[in-house]
Amino acid sequence: MPKFAANLSMLFTELPFLDRFAAAARANFKAVEFQFPYAFDAADIKQRLDANGLALVLHNLPAGDWDAGERGIACHPDRVGEFRAGVATAIHYATALGVNQLNCLAGKAPAGVSDTLLRRTLVNNLKFAAAELKGAGLRLLIEPINHFDVPGFYLNYTAQALTILDEVDADNALVQYDIYHAQRMEGELASTLQKQLARIGHIQLADNPGRHEPGTGEINYPFLFAHLDRIGYNGWIGCEYKPATTTNASLSWREPLDA
């Protein structure tokens, strides 16, 4: 059966961040993920993980000024130094927190920069990050994001991500496949998951429309969960959705799965 990780950037948000770990454990999650740990001391997060018997399965590299609307800087030619410093910071946190993979957000394409330069910058930054993460025993993920929710985001499609990873040519660099974003941009969920399973390092979910919990929209999640079992996916699935009401009310979809 699928293994689900609570995304603490989206779930239990009525609580302070460090209190969300206990809430996830009370809701019978065995693992968590979140966007960024950098506003907190790594030791404080590790204490909450250990106290609640939780594994951390994912967080992101630093992604610029999130509150100002930035969604990554990996494709920004004028911020390569900042990106590389962020890789070092992320490795420090990942090592302290026991996570084995980090997600890199490509970012929104800066105005006036050619696609050739954007792609070259992204590929070179990913080559650097993959090498640094491999030295620390970590995997690097890249995530296509739909351009309806994040206009201007540089990386939108699974096929695009795969061609970029072909150029990066690193065996520890994989796709983070977010079912919600993929549904909005391309569909073909079951076929893509099966065909590209070996190149998918992590999966996230939300339903569409609304980015709420499974069962609120058009995606046939019971079918997809059974499909993932059939094709042999044994990783975690991050619950990165916005609860339609409260987090606890949004978890009823897990009951038939004994998750």
pLDDT tens for the chain, 259 residues long, are 789 999 999 999 999 999 999 999 999 999 999 999 999 999 999 999 999 999 999 999 999 999 999 999 999 999 999 999 999 999 999 999 999 999 999 999 999 999 999 999 999 999 999 999 999 999 999 999 999 999 999 999 999 999 999 999 999 999 999 999 999 999 999 999 999 999 999 999 999 999 999 999 999 999 999 999 999 999 999 999 999 999 999 999 998 875 4
Sign of the torsion angle spanned by Cα atoms 171, 60, 57, 119 = negative
Radius of gyration of the chain (CA): 17
Residues 181 and 158: their CA atoms lie apart, in Å, by: 10
Answer for the pair 122, 154: CB distance below 8 angstroms, yes or no. yes
Answer for the pair 185, 153: CB distance below 8 angstroms, yes or no. no
Of the candidates 167, 186, 240, 255, the residue annotated as catalytic is 240
Residues 36 and 254: their CA atoms lie apart, in Å, by: 26
Sign of the torsion angle spanned by Cα atoms 2, 103, 72, 45 = positive
Q: Is 82 a catalytic residue?
A: no
- Single out the residue of 204, 180, 194, 196 nearest to residue 226, CA to CA: 194
**Overall fold of domain 3-257:** TIM Barrel (3.20.20)
Of the candidates 14, 82, 132, 143, the residue annotated as catalytic is 143
Counted residue by residue, the chain has a size of: 259
CA distances from 205 to 34, 192, 220 (A): 13, 15, 12
- Single out the residue of 3, 4, 15, 44 nearest to residue 246, CA to CA: 15
Tell me, letter by letter, the H, E, C secondary structure of the chain: CCEEEEECCCCCCCCCHHHHHHHHHHCCCCEEECCCCCCCCHHHHHHHHHHCCCEEEEEECCCCCHHHCCCCCCCCHHHHHHHHHHHHHHHHHHHHHCCCEEEECCCECCCCCCHHHHHHHHHHHHHHHHHHHHHCCCEEEECCCCCCCCCCECCCCHHHHHHHHHHHCCCCEEEEEEHHHHHHHCCCHHHHHHHCHHHEEEEEECCCCCCCCCCCCCCCHHHHHHHHHHHCCCCEEEECCCCCCCCCHHHHHHHHHCC
Q: Name 251's Cβ contacts closer than 8 Å, sequence gap at least 6.
A: 27, 213
Q: Is 207 exposed, middle or buried (0-12, 13-18, 19+ CB in 10 A)?
A: buried
The neighbouring-strand residues paired with 175 are 142, 200
Return the pLDDT at 258: 56
Return the pLDDT at 255: 84
Q: Is 143 a catalytic residue?
A: yes
What's the pTM?
0.97
